[in-house]
Structure 1
Amino acid sequence: MDELHPHGRAAAARLRQLVPAGAHAYSKAADQWPVTAPPLLARGQGAFAWDADGHRYTDWFAGLTCCPLGHAHPAVTAAVTRALQHGTAFQLPTTMELEAAETFLGLVAAGDDMVKFAKNGSDTVDGALKLARYATGRTLIAKCADHPFFSTGDWFIGTTAARGGTHPEPAARTLDFPYNDTAAIEHLFTTRGKDLAAIILEPVRFTPPDPAFFARLRQLCTQHGTVLIFDETVTGLKYHLGGARALTGVHPDLTCWGKGIGGGLPLSALTGRRGLMELGDHARPLPGRPPLLLLSTTHGSDTVALAAMVATVNEIAATDALARAHATGAELRHTVDAVLAEAGLSGHIRLTGYNCFLGIETTANDQVNAPRLKALFLTEAIRAGALVRGIFYPTAVHTTEHLELTTQAVRHAADVCARALDGHASASSLPAATRRPL
């Protein structure tokens, strides 16, 4: 692929000399993508992205799912332009903060009373845990072991393979539990309930939530005074406008939001019930307790990101954008399933999860193991112009044209995978599976 990306390869090499790993998020680093992936992207429009060498791709990840309306959506661009013309940073709260809070609590975090905005998901997750510890006087945190990422904080990173440089004590106060396992969560509360400050999990990933599990989890948290936190950094603005928590049948005490809420601009949010969130008012500490500095971010209130959020949420609500995205996902699933069946791959490659967020799973045979089969499928799909890395994220701006181009790319990838599974590829010619650092 070097001959296809001469400018991109050279620029990426220069970037890596200036930025550790050549990326500001580990999931964007070159070792997390197939070798056919473009080294650097230059611009995006709708559901297309172009690399530094001018090649166009059908984008199925939308900026790590940060762009639910696609790249450079006119409504978002117009809102950002207006905000820029009126100033972006002020030394006191602004009217934009009031509009943003009312919009977010009214249309997205319905049922919650208060919100704090910040810039990334780790900030709001860590703030939620700090708030839970303050409210309960406890220090233990339990996280869902089946969910891949919660925070850059030591409490989480210290439990992973990438724990270098972290302090061991926060990680030692972090416990695990499996998703949808009622017996496990009951055992956790039986043995450690009096010490649990918070339970944190994503409401859904690719496996549907079990209503009985969530009902029991809500009951146990209430019974033991443990704060229930949903991390909707990824799931927000995908399953429903009000998030994936609607799928669980229960309402958490606190919810963390991020990724797509800013319409492509950096924004995260922590929402919750008033009794908890008001503890974050540093001027009103609990009696006999020091004040809590919940979240203090200079740029959490910048008018540009807040304006982008208001425009994004209003556009989604006004145009039924999520329903259209789900319909696109259903059509994509049907088409991909048909192509895989045609290639004889139904037992080896399949799409999982909801139509709004489709995972790619692979099954091995004697010729190719599952991780390398997935790597081969992604490598060839990208080679053919579909920019996908393990997840298809349909949006309202994916059109028939994007689906047709992706069908061609998937057909090419399926043909290559079928030949490999039939033994027509040497082990040395197969791409290595991506190794995640966490």
Structure 2
Amino acid sequence: MPTHHPLGDRAAARLRRLVPAGAHAYSKAADQWPATAPPLLARGQGAWVWDMDGHRYTDWFAGLTCCPLGHAHPSVTAAVTSALERGTAFQLPAHAELAAAETFLEVVAHGDDMVKFAKNGSDTVDGALKLARYATGRTKVAKCAEHPFFSTGDWFIGTTAARGGTHPEPASRTLDFPYNDLGEVKRLFDAHGEDLAAVILEPVRFTPPDPVFFQALRHLCDRHGTVLIYDETVSGLKWRLGGAGPLTGVRPDLTCWGKGIGGGLPLSALTGGRDLMELGDHLRPRAGRPPLFLLSTTHGADAASLAAMVATVTEMAATDAIARAHTTGAELRGLVDTVLSEAGIAESVRLAGYDCFLNIEAAEPGLRALFLQEAVRAGALVRGIFYPTTAHTAEHLEQTEVAVRRAAQACGRALAGGTGADLLPAPAQRPL
């Protein structure tokens, strides 16, 4: 596939003059992708996307995992079109909010009593932490160190290399702990348990959850009165329709949802039990305390996004979409493993994770960057994560096998004699 993008390059240059970094999400910026990636995308259909120069790619990240049914799914498109015709923004709560809340709590957030919708994951994560601080009267929070992104809020960004412009005080009250490390979590509670409002983590990413760790974490949170929060912004609608939380064997107090729940439209959600969620009712503050201003978003409940969510989760439930996606993922894992083995690089490059969410790992960053660069050059649009969906067909797998074979061969040459290192256009960078 040609890697020359004259139309895309010109348009991307214009965009960078108008939008900082040329992207509205840092994970979409040019420094987060191989140089062979198309500068801009023009359209998508199912698991295909096209760039501005007409090149077609298999999309293995589904719009940052926002499209679990693929791009422009007919059911989602029809639901959004119908919502647009009825009006999308009202000055009072709309019936669409009732239908969406009932559907989401019944189909996705099993066992939770209440939901608050917003527009992105940072909204709901920050809201969950605010709710935890209000409920406990405490200020410190602990986050899982291995999980890459929780929020644009100062409490999180202030702990990263990109902390410019943040206030240092919130970050000073943010603590870290390692995933599945029971000893470190016990030490965390020993040192800070009396002032720990919340513990937040993704229930699972690529490493399987340790049931002993999570049972102990649940016990420690209960004993210290700390709120346990699962961030399912990424993991939701992948492992199972009700999220990945059940894999841990324990229930959180609050759950944050995002990305895929809107079927490609912007939507996030915070769910939990009535005892906590009702504290977010500003009309009923706790005695002697000011009301909690939990989440207030003008567009948090726009009818188009809510309709897209209802259509997405209803379609997924009716068609057993997640089980089918797991099957596709198993086929993908099999063909990638075979190609890596045949190229003699299986010890240096491998797939990690679950069939529903796979990650390319390599012995060193440059080798991983080379693999991704050549896979994209051959038409498999992957930044490191393969997210199979029901939109991926045998044709997508065939194209991906060709792309992975090209990438594996390039890595094999680099490992054998160093040839291939010159293919790297720039040092590999860690995504923000």
Q: Normalised by the shorter chain, which TM-score bucket?
A: over 0.9
1:384 equivalent in structure 2: 378
CA deviation string 1:243-284 (max 9, x = no partner): 000100000000000010000000000000100000000010
Distance 2:40 2:357 in 1: 24
User: Retained in 1: the 8 A contact 2:75–2:315?
Assistant: yes
Distance 2:181 2:418 in 1: 42
Distance 1:271 1:245 in 2: 13
User: Retained in 2: the 8 A contact 1:337–1:350?
Assistant: yes
Matches within 5 A, 1:133-282: 133-282=133-282
Residue 221 of structure 1 deviates from its aligned partner by: 0.5
How well do the aligned residues superpose, as a CA RMSD in angstroms? 1.1
SS at 1:275 equivalent: helix
SS at 2:417 equivalent: coil
The one-letter code of the counterpart of 2:296 is S
Distance 2:43 2:430 in 1: 26
C-alpha distance 9-2 of structure 1, shift in aligned 2 (>3 A): farther
Matches within 5 A, 1:84-103: 84-103=84-103
User: Retained in 1: the 8 A contact 2:32–2:431?
Assistant: no
SS at 1:397 equivalent: coil
Distance 1:221 1:232 in 2: 19
Q: Does 1:108 align with 2:108?
A: yes
SS at 2:376 equivalent: helix
Distance 1:427 1:224 in 2: 52
User: Retained in 2: the 8 A contact 1:113–1:273?
Assistant: yes
User: Retained in 1: the 8 A contact 2:27–2:431?
Assistant: no
C-alpha distance 361-289 of structure 1, shift in aligned 2 (>3 A): same
Residue 149 of structure 1 deviates from its aligned partner by: 0.5
Residue 326 of structure 1 deviates from its aligned partner by: 0.3
The one-letter code of the counterpart of 1:423 is G
Provide TM-score, normalisation by structure 1: 0.97
Distance 1:95 1:37 in 2: 43
Identify the match of residue 417 of structure 1 among 405, 411, 431: 411
- Percent of pairs identical after alignment? 76
User: Retained in 1: the 8 A contact 2:413–2:420?
Assistant: no
Distance 2:194 2:371 in 1: 48
1:295 equivalent in structure 2: 295
User: Retained in 2: the 8 A contact 1:374–1:433?
Assistant: no
User: Retained in 2: the 8 A contact 1:372–1:431?
Assistant: no
Distance 2:36 2:219 in 1: 49
The one-letter code of the counterpart of 1:331 is E
Residue 289 of structure 1 deviates from its aligned partner by: 0.5
Matches within 5 A, 1:384-403: 384-403=378-397
Distance 1:41 1:112 in 2: 38
2:5 equivalent in structure 1: 5
Moved over 6 A (4+): none
Residue 429 of structure 1 deviates from its aligned partner by: 3.6
Matches within 5 A, 1:282-431: 282-363=282-363, 370-425=364-419, 427-431=421-425
SS at 2:265 equivalent: coil
User: Retained in 1: the 8 A contact 2:265–2:308?
Assistant: yes
Distance 1:427 1:418 in 2: 11
Residue 152 of structure 1 deviates from its aligned partner by: 0.3
The one-letter code of the counterpart of 1:308 is A
User: Retained in 2: the 8 A contact 1:375–1:431?
Assistant: no
User: Retained in 2: the 8 A contact 1:375–1:432?
Assistant: no
Residue 433 of structure 1 deviates from its aligned partner by: 3.8
2:429 equivalent in structure 1: 435
Unmatched tracts of structure 2, length 5 or more: none
Q: Does 1:33 align with 2:33?
A: yes
The one-letter code of the counterpart of 2:116 is K
C-alpha distance 426-107 of structure 1, shift in aligned 2 (>3 A): closer
User: Retained in 2: the 8 A contact 1:372–1:432?
Assistant: no
Residue 190 of structure 1 deviates from its aligned partner by: 1.3
Residue 436 of structure 1 deviates from its aligned partner by: 3.3
Aligned residue pairs: how many? Answer: 432
Distance 1:407 1:209 in 2: 30
SS at 2:176 equivalent: strand
C-alpha distance 292-76 of structure 1, shift in aligned 2 (>3 A): same
CA deviation string 1:288-308 (max 9, x = no partner): 101110000000010000000
User: Retained in 2: the 8 A contact 1:356–1:393?
Assistant: yes
